[in-house]
A and B are shown apart, each in its own frame.
Chain A
C-alpha cells in the first residue's frame, strides 16, 4: 500500500473514532467494541465494498451486514464521513425525533438491516447470498460478527447451511477483540483455535491484524479464499483501540461519559493528553 493511501485511511479512521467518542456522552454508547472494529469498517467501505451513497438500493451492490449491532457508532461514523448521510445528523443520537440509537436502524441510509440481538445476521446474509447466486450475479455479502457473538448457536447453524450451499459469495469477518461484554472470551467461553472451528465447518479462514490496512488489503483482494466455500476473516483487534485509557479494559464496555471526559478522550486520541476517567461502565447486559 502506498504511504499516501495509508495516510488517507488513517485520517478517515481517526474521524470515525472522533464520532464514536462524541457518541459516548449524553446517554453513552458501546465505545470499546466500536473502536475495535473502526479500522475494519473504514477499510471495507472505502476500499472493498462495491457501494456508494448513490447506490444504496442498487441490487448489484455489495452488502454489508453489521451482526454485532452494538458497534453501530463505528458504522454510523463511517457512513457519515463517506457521505451516506449528513454528519450533523449524528448529533441526534438518542433523540426520540430520529432513529439513531444503540443498535442499527435500517431507515438510516447505508444500513442494510437492523440488528442488536446477536446471532441473526449471518442467517440473513445466507439468504441474501442465496438470492444473488440464484440470479447469477457477482455481488458479495459481508457480515461483521463479534467474537463473543460466536457463543450463539445460530451462528454455527448458519455456518453449516452456508457451506452446504457452497456460498463463496459470503464473507464473515470476526472482530476478534477477545472480549465479550464483561470479561475476556477465553476466560468465559474459550474460542481458540478459532480457524480450526471454521475450517471444520467447511469455511475457508484467514487471520489478520484487524488494525493493519496492509493486511486487510492483502486478504480482501483474494476473495473468495477457496472456490465453493464461504470465507471468514478472523481479525485480531484491541477493544478500545486508539484510547489507552480504554484499551483492553473490561470496565469500559459501555460508558456514558461526561462532556469533560469526551474532551479529554478526543485529546487522548490525538496524542495531546491523557484522559482521567471517572464514569463507570453501565452493565446493560
Chain B
C-alpha cells in the first residue's frame, strides 16, 4: 500500500481527518481529485499552514500537513511550537525529504536538526519510519493518537521484513548480539541492517535497534543494549547535536549507565549534495562503510582480540 492510498482510506473512514500541504504534493499528487475541499493547499506558506491547522484542530479536525522537512520545521518552527505545541493539538506534521533524502538539493534543503527541534517541544511526538512498510503500519496509530506528531516521511522500499508489529514507543530489535548494538532510525536502518549482516558473517555478534518512535523512546530496548553490549553505535542522518546521540546521552546520564559509543552523525557540518547513493558513499554511510567503521573502532579500542573475530585482512577481502 502506498502512503497516498492509506490517506485516501483514512480520510474516507474518518471525516475529521484533513490533508494540508504547502504546495508539496509529491507524496499526495493524486489526492486532490479524491478529497475535494478536504485537501487544503495553502501555497508556499508554511507559517499560515500551521496556524490554519491549529485553527482546524480547534474545530475538531485532525490535519495531516505536508511540506519539505526543512521549511516545515524551520520556517514554521515558532508556529509549530506556539500554535500546535502549547495547546498540544492533534496536528500531524509530515516532513518530506528529511536528512540525506534531500540528496542533491543542497544545505538549504537539508533537514538535519528536525528531530532535535521537534522533540524539544513539550508533548510533541516523533516518528522516523525505516521504510514505506513501517510508515504505512505506523500512520494509523499516529493519527489516532491525541497528540501532535512529527513524521520523517520515508517511502523507500523495505530491505527486510519487520517482525515486530508497530506500537508507539516500541523499538524493533533485530538480533540479540552482545558485541555491538547499532541504534538507528529512518531510512538508514537499511544500511545499519546491511552492516550488521556483514559483521555477523565475520563473527561479530550484532544487534540492530530500529527505534521507530524517537519520542516516546523505547527506553527498555536502549538500556538493554547499553547494559548487554560491548559497544554501541548510533547511525543517523542528523546533526550530532540534539539527535540520537543526545537522546542516548540524556538517558544514560539519567540512569547512570555507560557504554563505549561510536556516533555516526553529521558533526558541525552539512553534507555534500549529490544523488543519494553518492551521498551515502561520500559520507561513508553505506552498509559496508558502517561495518568497516565499526571494525576500525573495535580495533582502536582493542576489542578485536576479546571478540575473537577473524583477521582484519580477511574481513577486508570479504568487503
A contact set with B: CB distance below 8 Å: 59, 106, 112-114, 117, 119-132, 134, 153-154, 157-158, 160-161, 164-165
Neighbouring B residues of A125 by C-beta, 8 Å: 55
Partner of A126, one of B38, B51, B61, B86: B51
Of the candidates A113, A117, A123, A134, the one whose C-beta lies within 8 Å of that of B52 is A123
The reply to whether B51 and A121 form a contact with Cβ atoms under 8 Å apart is: yes
List 22 interface pairs A-B (beta carbons < 8 Å), by A numbering.
A59-B59, A112-B58, A113-B58, A113-B83, A114-B82, A117-B82, A120-B79, A121-B51, A123-B49, A123-B50, A123-B51, A123-B52, A126-B51, A127-B59, A129-B55, A130-B52, A131-B55, A154-B48, A157-B48, A161-B48, A164-B43, A165-B40
Query: Are A132 and B83 in contact (CB-based, < 8 A)?
Result: no
- Is B277 among interface residues, defined by CB-CB distance under 8 A? no
Q: Is the pair B59, A132 in contact by a Cβ cutoff of 8 Å? A: yes
Q: Are A131 and B56 in contact (CB under 8 A)?
A: yes
In the complex, per-residue mask of B41-57: 1 if CB is within 8 Å of any chain A CB, else 0: 01101011111111111
Whether A124 pairs with B43 at a CB distance below 8 angstroms is: no
Please classify the interface of chain A as helix (H, G, I), strand (E, B), loop, or mixed, using the class held by over half of its residues: helix
B164 at the interface (CB under 8 A from A): no
Q: Is the CB of A130 within 8 A of B40?
A: yes
The docked-state distance in angstroms from the alpha carbon of A122 to that of B57 is 15
Judging by beta carbons under 8 Å apart, are B56 and A127 in contact?
yes
Contacts of B55 in A (CB 8 A): 123-131
Q: Is B48 touching A158 in the complex (CB atoms < 8 A)? A: yes
Report chain B residues within 8 Å CB of A112. 58
* Interchain CB contact (< 8 A) of A122 among B51, B58, B61, B86: B51
B37, B56, B82, B87: the one contacting A128 at CB < 8 Å is: B56
Q: B78 in the interface, Cβ–Cβ < 8 Å?
A: yes
- With a cutoff of 8 Å between Cβ atoms, the chain B residues found around residue A132 in the complex are 59
CB of A106, distance to nearest CB on chain B (Å): 7
Q: Are A124 and B59 in contact (CB under 8 A)?
A: no
Closest-by-CB residue of B relative to A162 is: B48
Question: B52 touching A124 by the CB < 8 A rule?
Answer: yes
Chain B contacts of A128 at CB under 8 A?
Answer: 55-56, 58-59
Q: Can you list the 6 inter-chain pairs with the closest CB atoms, starting with the nearest? A: A127-B55, A123-B51, A127-B52, A131-B59, A128-B55, A124-B55
Closest to B56 in A: A127
> Known contacts A122-B51, A124-B58; can you find 19 more A-B pairs with CB under 8 A?
A114-B82, A117-B82, A120-B51, A120-B79, A121-B51, A123-B48, A124-B55, A126-B51, A127-B59, A128-B58, A129-B55, A130-B55, A154-B51, A154-B79, A157-B47, A157-B48, A161-B42, A161-B45, A161-B48
Instruction: For the complex formed, measure the closest distance between the CB of A141 and the CB atoms of chain B, giving whole angstroms.
Output: 8
Q: Are B51 and A127 closer than 8 Å at their CB atoms?
A: yes
Which one of B38, B43, B58, B82 lies within 8 Å of A127 (CB-CB)?
A: B58
Note all chain A residues with C-beta closer than 8 A to B38: 134
| Distance of A114 Cα from B87 Cα, bound (Å) | 8
Partner of A106, one of B48, B60, B87: B87
The docked-state distance in angstroms from the alpha carbon of A76 to that of B47 is: 28
Separation of A19 and B63 alpha carbons in the complex (Å) = 39
CB distance from B269 to the nearest CB of A (A): 30
Contact between chains at B48 and A126 (CB < 8 Å): yes
On whether A120 and B45 interact (CB within 8 A), knowing A131-B59, A158-B51, the answer reads: no
User: In the assembled complex, which residues on chain A have CB atoms less than 8 Å from the CB atom of B54?
Assistant: 113, 123-124, 127
Complex Cα distance, B47 from A106, in Å, reads 21
How many angstroms from the CA of A262 to the CA of B82 in the assembled complex?
A: 34
Using CB atoms, name the residue of chain B closest to A122. B51
Chain A proximity of B288: nearest CB distance (Å)? 46
Nearest-neighbour CB distance to chain A for B15, whole angstroms, equals 10
**Cβ contacts under 8 Å, A123 to chain B:** 47-52, 54-55, 79, 83
The CA-CA distance from A102 to B319 in the complex, in Å, is 64
Q: Is the CB of B45 within 8 A of A127?
A: no
| Chain A residues positioned under 8 Å from B57 (CB to CB) | 127
Do the beta carbons of A154 and B59 come within 8 Å of each other?
A: no
Most buried by A among B45, B51, B53, B60: B51
Quick check: B82 and A134 within 8 Å, CB to CB?
A: no
Cα–Cα distance between A114 and B89 once the two chains are bound (Å): 13
- A153's closest neighbor in chain B, by CB? B47
- Contacts A121-B51, A130-B55 given; indicate if A160 touches B43 (C-beta within 8 A): yes
Complex Cα spacing A123 to B54, Å: 9
Which residues of the partner chain B approach A120 to less than 8 Å between Cβ atoms? Answer: 51, 79, 82-83
**Chain B residue at minimum C-beta to C-beta distance from A129:** B55
Bound complex: CA A127 to CA B65 (Å): 13
Chain A residues within 8 Å of B78, by CB: 117
> In the complex, what residues of A have CB within 8 A of residue B58's CB?
112-113, 124, 127-128
> In whole angstroms, how far apart are the Cα atoms of A131 and B59 in the complex?
7
A228–B55 alpha-carbon span in the complex (Å): 20
Instruction: Assess the A126–B83 pair: CB atoms within 8 A.
Output: no
Q: Which residues of B contact A117 (CB under 8 A)?
A: 78, 82
Name the B residues within 8 Å of A59 (CB-CB): 59-60
Chain B's nearest CB lies how many Å from the CB of A229?
Answer: 17
Taken together as a complex, chains A and B put the C-alpha atoms of A130 and B54 apart, in Å, by 12
Q: How far is the CA of A133 from the CA of B50 in the complex (A)?
A: 19
In the assembled complex, the Cα of A153 lies from the Cα of B51 at a distance in Å of 14
Q: Which residue of A lies closest to B47 (CB)?
A: A154
